[in-house]
Amino acid sequence: MAILTDREGRNQPLFLDYYEYYSIATEDFSPTVDPSLTDEQIGIYEDKGFLVKPNADGALYGITLYHYLKNGKSLTGLVPQQYIGKDGQWIECRLIKVYAANDATYASIATAINVGITI
């Protein structure tokens, strides 16, 4: 992955394909079930996963691309991992699902995320 820095010297991944901002205040973000995405976009997410940058410091829960692929491209039965967002940094783990801020069991602190697919 190519790394650039922002004006404050923080590492920022260089994106090639796709960069978007999604609300996770009331709904999980999972491109595999998002009706607003094209089949081509869903295929890219399923092959590459995505990186996230939460809009708040604290816990963020997600399913990794690795576990999703190992589970036969199924979210069924997978347990989310906890990641800690800090200082506007990208979480450098490829994910396939991020849990909403209002989730009863795995509530993320962030209410929105930046999503990017890397080179």
Average confidence (pLDDT) per 10 residues, the chain, 119 residues: 60 63 91 83 87 92 95 94 87 92 94 84
Q: Write down the pLDDT at residue 1.
A: 47
* pTM for the whole structure: 0.82
- According to the model, what pLDDT value does residue 42 have? 86
Instruction: Give how many domains the chain has, as a whole number.
Output: 1
**Closest C-alpha to 118, from 15, 12, 44, 47:** 15
Sheet holding 50-54, edge to edge: 15-23, 112-118, 50-54, 91-98, 58-64, 81-85
**pLDDT value of position 9:** 67
- For 9, 95, 110, the CA distances from 22, given in Å and listed in that order, are 25, 14, 11
108/72 Cα distance (integer angstroms): 26
Instruction: Give the per-residue pLDDT at 64.
Output: 95
Containing structural domain, residue 75: 3-118
Whole-number pLDDT of residue 86? 85
